[in-house]
Amino acid sequence: MNKPGKSTEDMDSQTPMGHYPGSHKAKRELFDGFASVAKVLSSGRRAEIVDILAQGERPVDGISHEIDQTIANTSQHLQQLLRAGLVKTRREGTRIYYSLSGPAVSRLWAAVREVAGEHLAELDELAMSYLGDRSTMMTMTRAELRERIGDGDLIVIDVRPEAEFQAGHIAGAMSVTLKELETRLDQLPNDRIVVAYCRGPYCVFADNAVRTLHQHGIQAARLEEGYPEWKDAGFPVEASTTDLPRHDHAS
C-alpha cells in the first residue's frame, strides 16, 4: 500500500469537523503559489537579472546586454518575473524600465545566495572559478567602512557600470568603471587606501579593480558586500540626479 489516503481527500486529517477550512487541494494550491515565487528564481539567467535589478532600475536592452542574452529572451524572462510579482515596470517614452518590486525581493535574493554559500557543496568551486583566488585580498566590512568613510584616509570607488552608479551609490563614492580604471589612476590620491565595491559578495568587478590597483602599487581593499546590502542596511546612499539613468553599451 503505497498510495496516500483517499478517505481524507479534501479535508485535512487533523480537522475534526467537516465544514472547517483546510482542504488538501487548497493547501496544494497555496504552496504551489509559494513555489511559483521560487520557480521564477530557478533560472540562472533570471537570477542574474534580479542581481542586476537589485542595483536599481534598468531598461530591457541594458539587462539583455548585461546577461549576454538576446533581447527577445531577456524580455520573456522579464515577463515571468513580472507575472510572479518580483519586478515592476515604468515606461518612459519608448523605453521600459524594470526594477525590483520591493526590498523583500532583495532579501529573498540574499537568502538564496546565503543558503547556496552555506550548504551547496559545489558553490565554492563555482565561485572560485568565476572570482579567482580571493585569499590574498584585503576586505572591509560595511560597518567598518561607514565608520572610516569620513576620516579622510580612504577613498571609495564604485566599479559597477555607470548606469548602476547613477541609479544609486554609496554616499561619497566616485564612479570608476573597470574599463576606465587604468587610464584614471592619476586621479586617485596616492596617500589614501582605495576601497572598491560593486554588486554584492559574488561580484567580480571589485576584485579585479583591487588586483589592478595592487599591480600599480596602490593600496586597495574590497568591500565585502555590495551596494544593495549597504542600502538595505539603511546606510547612506545618494543618486545622480544630473541625468536620467541610461544603459551603457560597450559597443
Partner DNA sequence: ACCATATTCAAGGGAATGCTTGAATACGCC
Partner DNA sequence: GGCGTATTCAAGCATTCCCTTGAATATGGT
Shortest distance (Å) from residue 56 CB to a second copy: 17
List contacts with DNA (CB under 7 A): 2-3, 39, 42-46, 59-61, 69-73, 75-80, 89, 91, 93-97
State which residue, 38 or 244, has the beta carbon closest to a second copy. Answer: 38
Report what 190 binds from DNA, a second copy, none; CB cut-off 5-8 Å by kind.
none
Q: Which stretch binds a second copy (CB under 8 A): 89-97, 171-179, 225-233, 235-243?
A: 171-179
* Contact string (CB under 8 A) for a second copy, positions 208-237, x = contact: x--xx-------------------------
Q: What is d(CA 91, CA 59) in angstroms, rounded to the nearest whole number?
A: 9
Active-site annotation holder among 47, 155, 198, 210: 198
Q: What is d(CA 49, CA 100) in angstroms, rounded to the nearest whole number?
A: 10
State which residue, 71 or 233, has the beta carbon closest to DNA. Answer: 71
Site for a second copy in 73-112 (CB under 8 A): 84-86, 101-102, 104-105, 107-108, 111-112
State which residue, 149 or 188, has the beta carbon closest to a second copy. Answer: 188
Q: What is d(CA 66, CA 48) in angstroms, rounded to the nearest whole number?
A: 9
Catalytic, 203? Answer: no
Q: How many helices (H) and strands (E) does the chain have?
A: 11, 10
**Does residue number 45 form part of the binding site for a second copy (CB under 8 A)?**
yes
Q: What is d(CA 229, CA 59) in angstroms, rounded to the nearest whole number?
A: 22
Which residue has 579567482 as its cell numbers? 132
C-alpha distances in angstroms, 75 versus 37, 63, 71?
18, 9, 6
- Single out the residue of 96, 116, 218, 237 in contact with a second copy (rule: CB under 8 A): 116
CB distance 39 to 77 below 8 Å: no
C-alpha distances in angstroms, 86 versus 45, 97, 105, 161, 186?
14, 14, 6, 23, 42
Q: What is d(CA 106, CA 112) in angstroms, rounded to the nearest whole number?
A: 10
State which residue, 149 or 220, has the beta carbon closest to a second copy. Answer: 220
Site for a second copy in 9-28 (CB under 8 A): 12-17, 20-24, 26-28
Q: Which stretch binds a second copy (CB under 8 A): 3-11, 89-97, 188-196, 225-233?
A: 3-11
**Does residue number 39 form part of the binding site for a second copy (CB under 8 A)?**
yes
Question: Cell numbers of 222, please?
Answer: 574590497
- What are 98's strand-pairing partners? 58, 89
CB distance 158 to 198 below 8 Å: yes
State which residue, 132 or 189, has the beta carbon closest to a second copy. Answer: 132
**Does residue number 170 form part of the binding site for a second copy (CB under 8 A)?**
no
Q: Which residues contact 107 (CB under 8 A, 6 or more apart)?
A: 232
Shortest distance (Å) from residue 99 CB to DNA: 12
Annotated catalytic residues are: 198
